[in-house]
Amino acid sequence: MSVAGLFRVGVIGDPVAHSLSPAIHQPALDALGIRASYERWHTSGDDLPARIASLRSPDTLGASVTVPHKVAVMPLLDEIARSASDAGAVNTVINREGRLVGENTDVYGFAASLAETWGNGTFGTNAALVLGAGGAARAVVLGLHGLGVPDITVVNRGQCRVRKLAADLRSVPIAIGDPEPDALAEALRRTSVLVNATSLGWKQGETPLSLDLVGNLPPRAIVVDLTYRDTDLLVAARADGYRTLDGLAMLVHQGAKALEMWTGKTSPLAVMREAALRARDRRA
């Protein structure tokens, strides 16, 4: 071990300097009394095989995996869990005595954060509209399906990507939505949960749809943006009286699930939530 008795775990990506994961996981490890250091492991595509091989070391608990490696990492592992196979991506690697297992906790993280906000625990009569058709949208769709949402529509500017997502998740009934404004307005009128799973929102002034369409949602709808900040979409939704949820809660819940997989201990969710809020405030 790099320091006597100290375990290692980290986040693998390119880039990773922006990652909030160390600020969330280190206080949780400390609260559990686990002598471990959570690190940022900047890793290029060329260096990925060597980085993954290093996770087999006895002093390494595993790793978080972020963009752009969530798919590329899969053939480098010994086992792919059902959660990752269904999601088509790995975001968590567990070292089990030198054997590397790939898991996906994003689906769980999204479902847990939405259930927490929804509050009533009943999803069977609701409809969801998901904007985007990439890896994040796949996790959202699986999370919604797991919660029992029966009507899921996916909208993306490129229809080919939506059709591929629907084909890959053929066990989940997905409707392919029309991105044209009039069609979007009609779809929103019957939507209980609107989720932005695109990258539009990281920068101020970016929106995944025209904000004047948001008011078409029913009065008790929830608007979710997977970005870790208060995006223009969320601000507009609150101004129209809707409940909102950003991506920080999903990050915390998926991280808590990963921590349990690495350590076998119940994650201190309150500690992780407080740490995430502090980290976001510092960044702001």
Backbone angles phi, psi at 95, to 5 degrees: -90, 110
Q: Both tokens of residue 274?
A: 């407080």
Q: Answer yes or no: 164 catalytic.
A: no
Residues designated as active site: 70
